Chains A and B, each alone.
Chain A
């Protein structure tokens, strides 16, 4: 697929060249995946919170939103970025999340050994984040946008947080599950803008 298959800037306004059917299908499919994972990510976050005990989940419980291993929440300016840049950021974040979700799962496996559903959700989330990240990269590639370079493994900070005590590890998990929910939801939104005629 050497010919660039349409512009990512604003594909819907570019009336002269409509997206190729298979590219449109790829975007729609990736968007549907993102929408599904947004629902799962919310379920994961609620399940996680429920297993950490009060005050997690109580109104007003809001640990400082420290970046985790170089992965911070989508910036407020994210929405104003060009589509390609947004998708690249989404893909990079989705690629950074699986090792973090693994750290959280290993900690929870020790802390909550009798919460198989939570542990399974964490395991699924790592796999799903990887899958969605790859799908977004594929969409970028189809538009001729170079993929972002390989991301470093999570810095020791993440693993360290999990090892300096149960509470910091609980907060790390709270943070990671929150970031996962934010980035998947953000990816859904960014892809939604590419789907011709709006999301199916």
Chain B
């Protein structure tokens, strides 16, 4: 180029549709430039400034002339090729930054302005989180999306390790478009304007998080919003080093937290005149309920029992809640803890549904750290009846070699046969077991005659029952001594 002629032509594009070209030239008043693309269309563009926008040109070399009109310096010619063009996306804009203080989560929303792009392109977004007035970088994360020719809103969340109440958090983002069709240089956009989130303190000293439940082994940051200088921070018995935030606010970091005592682990911040704190509950999610078993004593009510497995370390409001779902009926029952924690028996009662034999139970265990479940499919009449202990057991004479036994059995056995076992002990020596089958009835007494006994002999009787499709014997009745009558002399 001759001296004073336009030089250093540089073109960039934000959207692959328009090239934004600029050049250097001696500053002269009322200079008007005419930029012409030497091609079939010979399109020219006029500009009063040393830059102009031209439609994106196809790949390959294109001759460009820049002619400073009304100016004595002469025309300049350049060869423009897409390969020398830089794709610098428009600066993104964070449309919305919100915080969920209870979960320390930041939520960001932005528009990718995909409609500005001619075709699908992969986009990488970099989101940077900064903290404190000094805007220290906390983290830089990437998020990949695809431009699809339409403006698309994107949402993204990040959970802070530091409670959001204690320090101002700043967020900014930029993007990089990797368009496979574009052969020029690809660069990051500028950073978006910063958005920030802070909590409006009410000037009462406060510690965050408040009463949080965390998983054993996790790292926890606890912080204190306060106006006075904190001189001591304790985690239980342990003294902790202070992380200074803005103003007098401070934080401590607890690594690999161990399981808390019942009332939680105290985190205490002490000043010259005050003491504030919070409690952290470190525990485990509920174990899979072990040995889930469902049976019935009376074919009216099903009793499901289980073993909770590994203790969670969490009690009170954070205790594990259990719910028993029955999928065929859609019914469920919830476990209520006994007042006296010493006598916890893990069992739930489910009312049987008339004429219903097969039950598909799912026992769900849930606490603030997670949930687990066990399932059991039960044919309640086949392998699940564990009768109550028979009561009102009586022995009466029938004749010198036979007695009649009677007992009462609570339960609705009308649709089945009962298998009962009589234990006969003769004069405290010979013991004999006899099985008898009786037709089941509902909440009723039962009778059997036991023969082939010896006259005028001391016997001890007791009985237990099960169902014909055996699952469990009931407990034995109490024993009954009985002296058979004397034989009638023949």
A interface residues, tally (CB under 8 Å): 23
Asked if A20 lies at the interface with its beta carbon under 8 angstroms from chain B, I say no
B210 with A112: CB separation less than 8 A: no
Contact with B along A103-118 (1 / 0, CB 8 A): 0000000111111100
B interface residues, tally (CB under 8 Å): 29
Contact with B along A163-190 (1 / 0, CB 8 A): 0011100110000000000000000000
Identify which of B182-190, B266-274, B440-448 touches chain A: B266-274
Bound CA span A52–B210, Å: 16
A167 with B277: CB separation less than 8 A: yes
Bound CA span A165–B278, Å: 7
Asked if A197 lies at the interface with its beta carbon under 8 angstroms from chain B, I say no
Query: Which of B262, B274, B275, B341 has a CB less than 8 Å from the CB of A111?
Result: B262
Are A116 and B340 also in contact (CB < 8 A) when A56-B266, A170-B279 are?
yes
Asked if B20 lies at the interface with its beta carbon under 8 angstroms from chain A, I say no
Query: Which of B265, B273, B316 has a CB less than 8 Å from the CB of A53?
Result: B265
Report chain B residues within 8 Å CB of A116: 340-342
Report chain B residues within 8 Å CB of A53: 236, 260-261, 263-266
Report chain B residues within 8 Å CB of A171: 275, 277
Asked if A156 lies at the interface with its beta carbon under 8 angstroms from chain B, I say no
Residue of B nearest to A64 (CB): B274
Report chain A residues within 8 Å CB of B316: 110-113
Residue of A nearest to B278 (CB): A167
Interface residues of A in 74-119 (CB under 8 A from B): 110-116
Summarize A's interface: helix, strand, loop or mixed: loop
Bound CA span A63–B276, Å: 8
A55 with B236: CB separation less than 8 A: yes
Asked if B234 lies at the interface with its beta carbon under 8 angstroms from chain A, I say yes
Task: Specify which of A63, A114, A167 lies most central, judged by the most chain B CB atoms within 10 Å of its CB.
Answer: A167
B237 with A55: CB separation less than 8 A: yes
Task: Specify which of B236, B266, B342 lies most central, judged by the most chain A CB atoms within 10 Å of its CB.
Answer: B266
Asked if B207 lies at the interface with its beta carbon under 8 angstroms from chain A, I say yes
Bound CA span A189–B380, Å: 69
Asked if A62 lies at the interface with its beta carbon under 8 angstroms from chain B, I say yes
Contact with A along B272-295 (1 / 0, CB 8 A): 011111110000000000000000
B237 with A54: CB separation less than 8 A: yes
**Least distance between A164 CB and chain B CB atoms (Å):** 8
Asked if B373 lies at the interface with its beta carbon under 8 angstroms from chain A, I say no
A165 with B211: CB separation less than 8 A: yes
Report chain B residues within 8 Å CB of A112: 262-263, 315-316
Residue of A nearest to B340 (CB): A116
Bound CA span A64–B319, Å: 32
Report chain B residues within 8 Å CB of A166: 210-211, 263-264, 278-279
Report chain B residues within 8 Å CB of A114: 262, 315, 341-342
The 6 closest A-B pairs by CB, nearest first: A54-B237, A166-B279, A167-B277, A54-B236, A110-B316, A166-B211
Which residues of A are at the interface with B, using a C-beta cutoff of 8 A? 51-56, 58, 61-64, 110-116, 165-167, 170-171
Given contacts A64-B274, A167-B207, A167-B211, 9 further A-B contacts (CB under 8 A): A52-B266, A53-B263, A53-B266, A54-B234, A62-B275, A110-B316, A113-B341, A166-B264, A166-B278
